[in-house]
Structure 1
Amino acid sequence: MKMYIKSVTVDDQKKALDFYTGTLGFVLKHDIPLGEFRWITVVSPEETDGVELGLEPNQHPASKAYQTALKADGIPCTAFSVDDIAAEVDRLKAAGVTFTRDLTSAGAVTIAILDDTCGNLIQLVQFNQ
């Protein structure tokens, strides 16, 4: 079975698309109007045929409560693997991204946590060699 979509809920699809493409560097894969909302997916520029990240509108009360609780507790909703976490954190900080956890060694990985400006915390992960 091929994994096709991983989704994050966002409080504003336009702002999320701008952040995930313009700041994080993902590439737009699909942007399909669906009434009031859109079916938006982005992909890694290194894997344009790989797993798509859906930017889902956060409209269901349970979804909003879950998203709010995760963020309030400092828990990332998902994680992205990077090859050079220090360089990525520096690049994103220079672009104005807020980090809730700076570079932290956690045994086999180094992590950092950023705020995606759309209601989520995102963890960056680099596997230590």
Structure 2
Amino acid sequence: MRIELTSIFVDDQRAALDFYTGVLGFTKRHDIPLGDNFWLTVASPEVPDGPELLLEPSDHPAARAYRAALVEDGIPLVQFAVDDVDAEHARLTERGVVFTQPPTDIGTAGVAVFDDTCGNLVQIVAVKPETVAAG
């Protein structure tokens, strides 16, 4: 069993594509029209054949309520691995990304949280090397 696709609900698929590719640096993998929406996926350029992230429309009332509750409580909907939280924070801040939690050392990892401008909070995580071997 493998994880090849996961999804994130977004307010506007085209705006999300612009943010996830133009700001974060992901690459577009699929852009297939489906009625009023699209099968729209992105992937990490670091793992081009790796898992895809589906930028899924958030039109369903349950999706809107779920996301709003997470944002209100400050809970990220998705997490992305990075090598260095401080460096990624600096790179993204320079690109205009707004962080709701600055880089924070939580013992086993460094984390930071930002607003993806599409209705979600996103956490970046850099696990400390000594905790990977111990886990």
TM-score computed with the length of structure 1 as normaliser: 0.98
Deviation, 1:78, is 0.9
- Aligned partner of 1:95 in structure 2 is 95
- Aligned partner of 2:54 in structure 1 is 54
- Aligned partner of 1:31 in structure 2 is 31
Deviation, 1:117, is 0.1
Within 2, Cα distance between the matches of 1:37 and 1:13? 8
1:61 maps to a residue whose letter is: P
Partner secondary structure for residue 17 of structure 2: helix
Within 2, Cα distance between the matches of 1:6 and 1:107? 28
CA deviation string 1:49-86 (max 9, x = no partner): 11000100001100100000000110000100001111
Deviation, 1:20, is 0.2
Structure 1: gaps (5+ residues): none
Partner secondary structure for residue 113 of structure 2: strand
Deviation, 1:2, is 2.4
Structure 2: gaps (5+ residues): 130-135
Partner secondary structure for residue 92 of structure 1: helix
Within 1, Cα distance between the matches of 2:26 and 2:48? 9
- Aligned partner of 1:121 in structure 2 is 121
- Aligned partner of 2:85 in structure 1 is 85
Consecutive aligned runs of 4 or more in structure 1 exceeding 4 Å deviation:
none
CA deviation string 1:26-56 (max 9, x = no partner): 0000000001000000000011111000100
Partner secondary structure for residue 91 of structure 2: helix
- Aligned partner of 1:10 in structure 2 is 10
What's the C-alpha RMSD, in Å, of the aligned pairs?
Answer: 0.6
- The question of 1:109 aligning with 2:126 is answered no
Within 2, Cα distance between the matches of 1:2 and 1:62? 27
Paired residues, what number? Answer: 129
Deviation, 1:128, is 1.4
Partner secondary structure for residue 46 of structure 2: coil
TM-score computed with the length of structure 2 as normaliser: 0.94
Within 2, Cα distance between the matches of 1:81 and 1:2? 17
